[in-house]
Amino acid sequence: HYPLRRQRQMCIRDSHNNDLEITLTSILKIEKFEPTPFYGIVITCKNVRKVRLVWALHNERKNFLYQLSLCAPHNLDDLFAFAHKQAQVIDSSSGWGIYSPFDEYSRQGALNSGWRISTVNEKYEVIPTYPSHIVVPSRLDDATLREVAKFRSKERLPVLAWRSMLGVALCRCSQPNVGTFQKRSPEDERYLEILAHMGEGKIYVLDARSRVNALANTHLLGKGFEKVGQNNFYKSAVLKFLNMENCHVIRNSWLKLQDLCIARSEKRYDYDASSEESLLFEDDWFYQVHLTGWFHHLCQLLKGTLEIVNIMTNEQCNVLVHCRY
């Protein structure tokens, strides 16, 4: 076996001219192993793919690893983003102007319908993790936006993400810093009231977390969620929890699924296993997949998506989505 460099892919060709292509950026790690009397490596990919290569001689493996090291780009110009350019010549200094927020939100019809582009974050000083230009209601000045940012986790105030052809807005932000003592922000409350009346007089706040996790953030981190309803602070808002787990739980679920897929791939090539053993393994494998919770997470994501679509389509109310950040 030896690798051939093909732009962003590694092509492994054996003595029978059979090719196996692996995208370089999909490689997670490469490990050596020595199943006596051979010499091998295991290439683990980020897409749950695992490739084993075995050689009879130590020098053959050493040569392969050396050839593989040559596949990695040694300077920035060799990276895919730079090596593959458009046919037309674009001045590198004008690259940041290829995407225009003004053109995009004009296309959506937002800038003529009560929205404006604010440059309050032009130097990334107000909201370091937001773009320099954000789309907000025209009725709010930049001074108000600064106050709202102070009341939101990581300063991520509500901004327009997308506007439908019906004029219904999908906005995003982070959780409010209400804490145990239910701190308030008149500017933040006014912001959501404006968003509500830019639609059908009501705004849905969809918190991606479960109520239990949101309450934990309230008491442990000084953050939380909006108090909604006619007798509370956000009078025109309706709060719903989408019951999704946090990123750490979902990452662990994915890693468990990845381990199971790799284990199944290895078992498939265990020629010493009897047909009965293989069937038992398959039955247990599907049960173990269930225990990872991965399909539950996908289900919750799709249910949350459907909730947003139904609100925006059937009720034509504006939606504000946030989680912990």
Percent share of the chain, pLDDT over 70: 84
| 240-299 pLDDT tens trace | 999 999 889 999 999 899 888 877 766 654 545 556 666 666 778 888 899 999 999 999
20-48: per-residue pLDDT in tens? 888 877 888 899 988 778 888 988 888 87
6: confidence class by pLDDT, cuts 50, 70, 90: very low
Rounded CA-CA distance 43/173 in Å is 40
Q: What is the DSSP string of 68-132?
A: HHHHS-SSGGGSHHHHS--SS---GGGGGGSS-HHHHHHHTT-TTTTEEEE-TTTTSSS-TTS-S
Cα 247 from chain centroid (whole Å): 9
pLDDT at site 98: 78
Q: How many angstroms separate the CA atoms of 40 and 52, rounded?
A: 7
The amino acid that residue 163 corresponds to is: R
Beta pairing class for 318-322 and 169-172: parallel
> Which of 10-14, 74-78, 288-292 shows the highest mean pLDDT?
288-292
User: Is the CB of residue 166 less than 8 Å from the CB of residue 215?
Assistant: no
Rg, the chain, Cα only: 27
3-state secondary structure 231-254: CCCECCEEEEECCCCCHHHHHHHH
Average pLDDT over residues 147-173: 96
Other C-beta atoms closer than 10 Å to the C-beta of 300 total 18
Give the residue carrying structure tokens 């130097």.
Answer: 123
Q: What CA–CA distance (Å, rounded) separates 134 from 35?
A: 58
Question: Is residue 5 very low, low, confident or very high in pLDDT (cuts 50, 70, 90)?
Answer: very low
Q: pTM score, two decimals? A: 0.76
The pLDDT of residue 226: 93
Q: What are phi and psi of 176, to 5 degrees?
A: -80, 155
The rounded distance, in Å, linking the Cα atoms of 268 and 286 is: 14
Residues of the chain above pLDDT 90, percent = 51
Looking at per-residue pLDDT, the higher value among 35 and 113 belongs to 113
- Cα torsion for 324, 155, 177, 135, to the nearest 10°? -80
Q: Is the pLDDT of residue 7 over 60?
A: no
One-letter amino acid for residue 189 of the chain: E
Phi/psi at 29 (5° precision) = -160, 160
Q: In what order do the strands lie in the sheet with 27-33?
A: 27-33, 39-45, 50-55
171 belongs to the catalytic site: no
Strand pairing of 134-137 and 9-13? unpaired
Q: Which tokens is 144 given?
A: 């108000």
How high is the pLDDT of residue 271?
42
Looking at every residue in the chain, the average pLDDT score rounds to 85
